[in-house]
Amino acid sequence: AKEGDYFELKGEMLSMPAGQGFSIYSLAAVLPLLAAKQRPTHPNDWMTSDAEIACPDPNCASRLRIVRMAKRRFSHAETTAVPLPKEDDLR
């Protein structure tokens, strides 16, 4: 990856412009954080402020910055086959 390369995550779909790529080690470091960065967090949570992820390979100088471009609403039914529990089931 070179400075300015990027990918976009919309929901669960990751897309990358043609001709750009990232080390699998950089992606492995950032992927577990992407789902959490899509959710609202408490202002004091480190997940709210920390957004730069380093590649774990000592020979790779890549730094990936997670930037929220917009907020979206997700429908539970559109993202999983498991139904929400009924309120009576939560007790």
**Residue 2 clears pLDDT 90, i.e. is over it:** no
Residue 52 pLDDT = 93
Strands 13-15 and 8-10: antiparallel
What's the average model confidence in pLDDT over 29-49?
88
Per-residue pLDDT band for 88 (boundaries 50, 70, 90) equals low
DSSP-based three-state secondary structure for 7: coil
Residue 91 pLDDT = 62
Cα separation of 34 and 68, whole Å?
Answer: 10
Question: What is the domain partition of the chain in residue ranges?
Answer: 8-90
What's the average model confidence in pLDDT over 59-84?
85
Residue 7 pLDDT = 86
pLDDT tens-digit readout, 6-15? 888 887 788 8
Per-residue pLDDT band for 90 (boundaries 50, 70, 90) equals low
Residue 45 pLDDT = 92
